[in-house]
Amino acid sequence: MIPAPVEPFAAVDVIVAKRDHGELSDAQIDWVIDAYTRGAVADEQMASLAMAVLLNGMSSRETSRWTAAMIASGERMDFSALSRPTADKHSTGGVGDKITLPLAPLVAACGVAVPQLSGRGLGHTGGTLDKLESIPGWRASLSNAEMLAILEEVGAVVCAAGEHLAPADRKLYSLRDVTGTVESIPLIASSIMSKKIAEGTGALVLDVKVGSGAFMKDIDRADELARTMVALGEDAGVRTVAILSSMDTPLGLTAGNALEVAESVDVLAGGGPRDVVELTLVLAREMLAAAGVDNVDPADRLADGSAMDAWRRMIRAQGGDPDAALPVARESHSVAAPSTGVLSRLDALGVGIAAWRLGAGRARKEDPVSAGAGVVMHAKPGDTVRAGDPLMTLHADSADRFPGALEALAGAVSVDPAPGAGPPRAVGSAHPRTPLVLARIAG
């Protein structure tokens, strides 16, 4: 019988060091990540360490080393053989955040390859893969060889991360989710950046959401997270920029999988809601600049149809039919405006929870989602509404989902009286639009 290898550290000593506000050494961090990945550190021990990190934090050196150790737990992709530079985008998640769908083909149409490794939705925030899987035939799982071939031929791919990419993060992420340690900024930043750096992209733009429908409700915490991630990316040699964007109100007019795909196609066709178009262009310009491409305006690629062409090629390359009809939920329910006036608030969290309860999201990773479920909004803050007119339409496969969604929307809407006499009118500066982009952070 071969004896078990002698470990250089004891997990309890590492836990106690962080519990007592100490800094972990590089060797301790390298060991604990590797040992946890191979099962030599138990879940309960890593949970205790994660709680100590949540309570006592990490220095920038510790966070950088933790991230590097998670990258080293698996493979690192290499796109150097591609004929064009690479850039990627990561969003911290929100309601109606379908930006990846028009963004990836748009940036590809501008000459930069986009290797977008995305995830699935959990709770009130939607997942990019869930949205794209509402397209008949489209598949999220690709081999590395398939991914490289599509990037060279089409310029953009959106797919699931392989199981060998930062496996330490996959294991730790699941543990944090059930141990109340998700909120730690060093652990959030290292989780996101370990995957993105291991992905091998040359440039990265981070869209850090702020507001009621975002993971980060407070702009100061969002700013700290953004700066931490930018520093991690730059330390790893990846040109990294972060944008802080508002998520108090849902993005666009839809929240739900197939509904958001349809809206994204509208954007690629030259239409779509103003806020979705605006953020798509902001992020596209940042990605192009980070990749060193400054001779093309992405707005031109939306206007001339080349972004739509790239979308259709991207969907076909992953087995999807861009011309197929999207799924439609079996039931619908209209939500009327409660009064006449100016819609002053449409809470993103309330809309997101409603979409989740309608079947568009999941409570556990293994839960199925409904492709056609979700919320269509007929007005956004600043718009004039009339009492009794449709404000939202809810879509679900079963009518018994509507009461829970309506409960989530109770208190999510505010309508202010229109100023002055006479019929309701748009009031312009009386209800200024919240800036979509709140800040830009670069290394």
Q: List the catalytic residue out of 88, 97, 130, 169.
A: 169
Q: Is 169 considered catalytic here?
A: yes
Q: Is 176 considered catalytic here?
A: yes
Q: List the catalytic residue out of 176, 196, 357, 431.
A: 176
How is residue 40 written in tokens? Answer: 């030599």
Using CA atoms, how far apart are residues 236 and 315, in angstroms rounded to an integer? 32
Q: List the catalytic residue out of 18, 65, 89, 90.
A: 90
Q: List the catalytic residue out of 195, 239, 285, 362.
A: 195
Q: Is 431 considered catalytic here?
A: no
**Which residue shows structure tokens 């002698």?**
6
Q: Is 191 considered catalytic here?
A: yes
Q: List the catalytic residue out of 191, 212, 245, 370.
A: 191
Catalytic site positions: 90, 169, 176, 191, 195
